[in-house]
Amino acid sequence: MAMKKDSKKVDEREHYKKLMVMVVLSFMSMYMLMYAMVNTFANVIPNVNQFYMAGLMTVPMIFIEMALMGSMYMDKKLNTIIIGVSTILLIPFWDTYPAALRRDRIAR
């Protein structure tokens, strides 16, 4: 019986590891997709605005994943931590992106 419980706990941890991998890959792909409309590689100029926007798109994906696939994530304490950290990250991504745009407009 104890063996079954331990293997179930390992399976639960795998779901959380896959969630983190998904979040990192989503962030990276969204960051790269910011440059989809660039016609040549020479015109790719890394910018902090793309970083903020990729974060702004990635963090809500965590909320959606936790809401729709909640039955995979059984550790309520860890779920609360993930949602809390995601909320804390969403605030600067939400607030800083418009601030960066305002700075760009003022600089022109």
How many Å apart are CA 61 and CA 93, to the nearest integer?
14
* Total number of domains in the chain: 1
Question: What pLDDT is stored for residue 49 in this prediction?
Answer: 81
State the maximum Cα–Cα separation within the chain, in Å, rounded to a whole number: 68
Query: pLDDT digits over 13-25, tens only?
Result: 899 999 999 999 9
Question: What pLDDT is stored for residue 103 in this prediction?
Answer: 62
How many Å apart are CA 67 and CA 62, to the nearest integer?
9
pTM of the model: 0.74
Host domain of residue 103: 2-107
Task: Answer whether residue 107 shows pLDDT above 90.
Answer: no
